[in-house]
Amino acid sequence: GSRVSNGQHCSGSDDLAAEDLARETCNAVLKTCEESRQWEQGLLLLGRMRECCPADEHSFAAVIGACSAARKWEHALATLTQMQQEGFLPKAAAYNAALWSLSDTAAPWKKAIDILQHMRNM
């Protein structure tokens, strides 16, 4: 069955609706984190989402965007990797955000080439 915030397993359409509402609420907060460059709060919320609902591709993309906006390329790339490990296929916007995070002069340019090659193989 689906998960609820108290950790009990349950089933039914009401529980799925509650899970969807929780995810939509979290994603709205994550989008706000992205727009305000609050990457640390975004990463924290992404980790805590497991308590109430599974993250989706929008959740990961917003956190990658927040990390990118703050030029935290290590965290952007780690979140992109986590997204892929959890079975989500990143869309162009997530890849673009990860690439943008690498525009910092201290970022390794080889990482950008790796991302571009991965995009090419999609």
Q: Tell me: the pLDDT tens digits for 26-78?
A: 999 999 999 999 999 999 999 999 888 999 999 999 999 999 999 899 999 99
CA distances from 47 to 23, 26, 30, 55 (A): 13, 11, 12, 9
- Give the per-residue pLDDT at 11: 52
- Give the per-residue pLDDT at 8: 46
For the stretch 3-22, pLDDT in tens is: 334 444 445 678 888 999 99
CA quadruple 112, 96, 121, 85: dihedral sign:
positive
Tokens representing residue 30 in the block: 């994550």
What's the CA gap between 9 and 57, in Å, rounded? Answer: 23
- Give the per-residue pLDDT at 2: 32
Task: Please choose, from the candidates 110, 65, 116, 56, the residue with its C-alpha nearest in 3D space to the C-alpha of residue 83.
Answer: 56
Tokens representing residue 98 in the block: 């990860």
Average pLDDT, the chain: 85
